[in-house]
Amino acid sequence: MRTPGIRPESVMSLFLETKFNGVSLGSSTGFAASAPSGKKLLITNRHVLSGRRSDSNRVIDRSGNVPDEVVISHNRRGKLGEWVHVTEKVRDQNDNHLWFEHPSLGRKADFVALPLTELSNVDLYPHSLGIGDPLLAFGPAETVSVIGFPFKIKTGGYCAIWVTGFVASEPDYNQDDLPLFLIDCRSRPGQSGSPVVASRSGGAVTMEDGSAEIAPGPMFRFLGIYSGRVNRQSDLGRVWKAAAIRELVDTL
């Protein structure tokens, strides 16, 4: 996808609204991915679709409600810059969840994949999950961007907001013995489920192996999915690694 003046990543993030019995429970972010089988998926945080904290399984909504559907603001087919709001069920009639969890981590991993079934009037722009992306450097203190919808804020319809911070932990190590790393970023409610990318404007660009390349234009590397701050007092946030998301998607 190439659109003059618009970064592709701005429309690859999808605005989500979860509901219970038609009543809104809140907004968040997700993005599309393609499984090796060809299945089209919505990737977002587990806590977004389950309505429960991944660490304690406690219900998040003060009224005790959990989502039964999610409304996704997709790009309208053939009309980039226009959006169509599509509802997907997240639970079946027997209250079984319709999303898929990581094959070994289960609910410990705060990301899930929901098969997309209502795509007749939709153009999808899936994220690569890191496959084939330029291997841009993203060690400690390198800049990263969380691309989502803080406080429901959007631009130009449903283009996402870029919030930029820094890698805060060594990404080659697993934080808390889980496949995630930390970033230092002033993120806010609504950004849960956002893709996290390393984005460089062009010119001389440092690569993962320490070499430099001359980029003729913007380059980006998918790094993972954002799932919230470590606590309310901190700007440190968790990012689940791209490789872990691929482990889930590859099973579908």
Do 119 and 198 fall into the same domain?
A: no
Count of positions (residues) in the chain: 252
Q: How confident is the model at residue 3 (pLDDT cuts 50, 70, 90)?
A: low
Do 108 and 194 fall into the same domain?
A: no
52-108 pLDDT, tens digit each: 988 888 998 888 899 999 999 999 998 888 899 999 999 999 999 999 999 999 999
Do 75 and 164 fall into the same domain?
A: no
The torsion of the CA quartet 53, 112, 185, 10, rounded to 10 degrees, works out to -140
Give residues with Cβ within 8 angstroms of 128, minimum separation 6. Answer: 222
Do 222 and 157 fall into the same domain?
A: yes
Do 178 and 221 fall into the same domain?
A: yes
132-171 pLDDT, tens digit each: 888 888 889 999 999 999 999 999 889 999 999 999 999 9
Q: Name the residue range of residue 104's domain.
A: 9-123
Do 147 and 100 fall into the same domain?
A: no
Q: How confident is the model at residue 1 (pLDDT cuts 50, 70, 90)?
A: very low
93-104 pLDDT, tens digit each: 999 999 999 999
Do 116 and 147 fall into the same domain?
A: no
Domain boundary pick from 59, 90, 123: 123
pTM: 0.93
Do 245 and 181 fall into the same domain?
A: yes
Do 152 and 119 fall into the same domain?
A: no
In a domain? residue 179: yes
d(CA 88, CA 115): 9
195-229 pLDDT, tens digit each: 999 888 777 787 888 788 887 778 889 999 999 88
pLDDT at 41 > cutoff 70? yes
In a domain? residue 51: yes
Domain boundary pick from 95, 123, 151: 123
CA-nearest of 16, 10, 50 to 30 is 16
Report the percent of the chain where pLDDT is more than 90.
68
In a domain? residue 135: no
Number of domains in the chain: 2
For 95, counting Cβ atoms within 10 Å of its Cβ (0-12 exposed, 13-18 middle, 19+ buried), the class is exposed
Do 94 and 147 fall into the same domain?
A: no
pLDDT at 190 (0 to 100): 87
In a domain? residue 44: yes
CATH code, domain carrying 65: 2.40.10
d(CA 237, CA 239): 7
CATH code, domain carrying 171: 2.40.10.10
Do 174 and 214 fall into the same domain?
A: yes
In a domain? residue 207: yes
What CA–CA distances, in Å, run from 202 to 137, 160, 213?
14, 21, 9
- Chain centroid to Cα 70, Å, comes to 15
